[in-house]
Structure 1
């Protein structure tokens, strides 16, 4: 691994640690809490004054709506899949499996962070629950919302798209992150910092060692050789 690549990884790690401790160390999370509170109450009050907005928040936080985010990611992946040769499609399958394994491992490691943080709908008392306002069983609370696992998975997807398919794929992935991570914040199931601090810390520290080193490339190459089916690469 080149020295410049190692320096980049260490800088990303440092950025992740600075981000986390800027939230973790100050009493009551310092300026982050004021930002979290303002964002939460801004959305929470709008759900009462705008019933249509409450319905939108409820629908986008219904468990079944997670399939829409999977469809969006799958559609972007399919866009690049269709351009590949049979050998390229096989390799894309290996990339997808590696992406899933990486996301699962980083998500488990992220929950080892010694933080227990209930969602704002459980932290504050004077709140409106979108599930109660609309009657839709939406996800609007979490006993431990840090780090935001949903947002983390989306960010990991976007980073993999950047690493293996380029800048335009990354931009499309970021749009997916914004569209499908924001509803959790609007409903109060997550604080803004669950994603902006928690998810980003795990990605900056953990994913950099995966994507900026030969690690994921080696896993992909191994899967490409070992998976059953046609079009295996030459030994």
Structure 2
């Protein structure tokens, strides 16, 4: 498997490294900062003039709304779970645990990058805050927004769905990434490059070695073997 996918792994690694360096090396982050600023102010300037947009952004960034994103991912996963035999469900449980462990580890690795910065709502002075305008305790700022951990979790889920369930599952997952990743950008809790550079560079480099080699399957089999008895089937004994 490694030999077959090695050219693709190397390509993804080079892409991830070049992507990160294109942001990290230029003074003030170069063209990325201009793009980041334009995207932020396009939404921020409209928070006072477009009430439906304001309330949509505030509601979708309320902490409790994160449950909706979990339900969306869980619903997609459950749709595949329902189609499985008892043994297949046991394997899906192992895939889920493997995905969770991967997400935690990659999130920690992402924060080892030698960069940190506040969200645009903290970086720029005299900007609109959705939480203040609506009274909803929405997450509209962050002391350290790079890389985008929320976006990274969503992307990791999409990649796992592609690896273990195919392109159709990935396509639906990609919609979930967009729907639940965009609100963080729209409210100003993250810069565009927090996700497009920070999250993506970590995923491209690390997840390529994890999913396109036997590594993730090794952990999956380990979890499969030692998962709690109630998730085992009688055929496993």
TM-score relative to the length of structure 2:
0.97
* Change over 3 Å in CA distance of 1:28–1:89 after alignment to 2: same
Q: Equivalent residue for 2:220?
A: 220
After superposition, residues 50-89 of structure 1 pair within 5 angstroms as 50-89=50-89
Aligned equivalents of 1:173, 1:68: Cα separation in 2: 14
Deviation >4 Å, runs of 4+: 232-235
Structure 1 residue 223: deviation in Å?
1.2
Deviations 1:172-192 (A, max 9, x none): 000000000100000000000
Aligned equivalents of 2:4, 2:23: Cα separation in 1: 29
Aligned equivalents of 2:195, 2:182: Cα separation in 1: 9
Aligned equivalents of 2:215, 2:178: Cα separation in 1: 28
Deviations 1:110-140 (A, max 9, x none): 0000101110000011310000111110000
Aligned equivalents of 1:26, 1:4: Cα separation in 2: 36
* Change over 3 Å in CA distance of 1:127–1:219 after alignment to 2: same
TM-score relative to the length of structure 1:
0.97
After superposition, residues 180-195 of structure 1 pair within 5 angstroms as 180-195=180-195
> 5+ unaligned residues in a row in structure 2: which ranges?
none
**SS state of the match for residue 175, structure 1?**
helix
After superposition, residues 98-137 of structure 1 pair within 5 angstroms as 98-137=98-137
Q: Is the 8 A contact 1:225 1:232 kept in 2?
A: no
Q: Equivalent residue for 1:200?
A: 200
> 5+ unaligned residues in a row in structure 1: which ranges?
none
Aligned equivalents of 2:234, 2:208: Cα separation in 1: 28
Alpha-carbon RMSD: 1.2
Q: Is the 8 A contact 1:119 1:188 kept in 2?
A: yes
Structure 1 residue 225: deviation in Å?
1.3
Aligned equivalents of 2:235, 2:129: Cα separation in 1: 53
Aligned equivalents of 2:120, 2:63: Cα separation in 1: 19
Aligned equivalents of 2:123, 2:115: Cα separation in 1: 15
**SS state of the match for residue 49, structure 1?**
coil
